[in-house]
Structure 1
């Protein structure tokens, strides 16, 4: 039946049978929503007789659950997504047992697993165990999330399904992106591809190293991540991304922890891998000017004389920045290690910082030094240093007479050169 107009009336009279149907549906949706939030499985089972388990629910603004809907007049959400989003383990299990599809996606291309990771509760990594009421509550919420994740994995959730958007993140990528450290090993144990790439050809390890997250990096390596995998578009490795992050201005000002870099190196990261421009981690470290990072890379036999495709040595990168040049101690060290001293790139251009008027005397001195033929003694010293590197120089100290060792490993004094 449709709308009919009775004689003598000014407008249409609505057929009550058809007008009450949407109201009943919305009431049913609200009841199902509330039952899921209460984890009332008996009520959920009853309501599912009249509501397809994979059909979205639309909840009105005046319902008792509206306070959870972020000030939207209505919200449409699939039952299993609601249970996962708010970590309702019993409701999630009940819905799955009644045919809920964990791979059904929302309007943004997220599966149930994606939504769970997007709404994963974060607790400080420094907690060893909860000591007060707030910490106990947050820990319980975290435990509920872990339980829900196990339930999803046990009921066939695809742990390698990508988000259907521009980034094409896998669940592991999402876990890194949103800092959900506890889920990495669970996903890997359930078949997640630890070396999966996103739309930018980044693996989860690239992402973790790029934010200097040691725990995530350590877990991914333990799960089989390839520490030398490169980003196809740029040639960057996890090591180079970590060095870039720690060498930025923010990294220097905040003294960013470099333990993630050491972790990668001790687990086989190749220190001299070149990207598509020919740059290595030591180029990035020298440009950043953080002595701790440069020393760490040298300890693992970074080649301080390796050139980029444009003929730029690490010391060229160091001399690009004024703040680096004023660090005379580090400059002395790099000059001592650079053999031969190459100040220009393939176009014969000098580093930008060295062209500043205040460094005119230094520029002229270094140019003369780079053009000066090396003595046989200096060549021998350079070859010994190159062979043994920084890593084994203390071992060599035990084998050589003190005067000889001192002559080999004594840095040049820049102040003496400028006289």
Structure 2
């Protein structure tokens, strides 16, 4: 049964997926592997984001399948309860699947859940330079000054560290995220686990780039 779901997803058989889940709704929440090599199981709503990132699906295709899964009872939080495990939303935020993230937020995903490294969706969207997702999370009430578990860092720290690792032509998104966070009221005086504040980290970039 799991193999059948995997095949339908791989084939992007929307009608077949809808019909099969109608007959077997429990499969909407059964973990599936990434591929034949990486057999670690993850919730289908998470796996859709993996495959958007890998280029196997467009976001339009993934959204259609996500809607079908949700209509048949897929848990929008991917049955994830423990901190440190990525929910579908944290997966979307970290895998450049912006439209998937927006859909999961719209459907009531837990925006405060802490996934890998104890980072929330806002941390991950900030690290990856995804301003559309950051803006939507801020509007939804995401905690601006939440500190991740691993680095004791806020989304603002994650955004500026992500900026420092971005290619020169890929910095626009990170800069936009920084502006959004600061204008929304993120506290620039909070230190990370190494005692560094935003202002101290800011010395690594040209302040003129930020244009706050």
- TM-score band w.r.t. shorter chain: 0.7 to 0.9
Change (3 A) 1:201 1:254: same
**C-alpha separation in 2, matches of 1:142 and 1:254:** 23
Give secondary structure in 2 for the equivalent of 1:119.
helix
Between the two structures, name the one with larger relative contact order (CA 8 Å, sep ≥ 6): 2
Q: How far off is 1:295 after superposition? A: 6.3
Paired residue for 1:109, among 41, 44, 51?
Answer: 41
1:156-175 equivalences under 5 Å are 156-161=73-78, 168-175=85-92
1:265-344 equivalences under 5 Å are 265-286=182-203, 288-292=204-208, 296=212
Change (3 A) 1:269 1:113: same
**C-alpha separation in 2, matches of 1:293 and 1:181:** 24
Match of residue 171 from structure 2: 256
Match of residue 15 from structure 2: 90
Change (3 A) 1:96 1:203: same
Q: Which runs of 5+ in 2 are unaligned?
A: 33-38
Q: How far off is 1:97 after superposition? A: 1.2
Change (3 A) 1:265 1:80: same
Give secondary structure in 1 for the equivalent of 2:9.
helix
Structure whose alpha-carbon radius of gyration is higher: 1
1:20-419 equivalences under 5 Å are 54=1, 56=2, 78-100=3-25, 101-106=27-32, 107-120=39-52, 142-161=59-78, 168-248=85-165, 253-254=168-169, 256-257=171-172, 258-286=175-203, 288-292=204-208, 296=212
Change (3 A) 1:117 1:87: farther
Moved over 3 A (4+): 141-144, 293-296
**C-alpha separation in 2, matches of 1:294 and 1:115:** 35
Q: How far off is 1:119 after superposition? A: 1.8
CA contact (8 A) 1:89 1:147 kept: yes
CA RMSD of aligned residues (A): 2.8
Q: Which runs of 5+ in 1 are unaligned?
A: 1-53, 57-77, 124-137, 297-419
**C-alpha separation in 2, matches of 1:89 and 1:184:** 20
Change (3 A) 1:142 1:212: closer
Give the number of equivalent residue pairs. Answer: 201
Larger % of helix: which? 2
CA contact (8 A) 2:59 2:100 kept: no
Change (3 A) 1:284 1:82: same
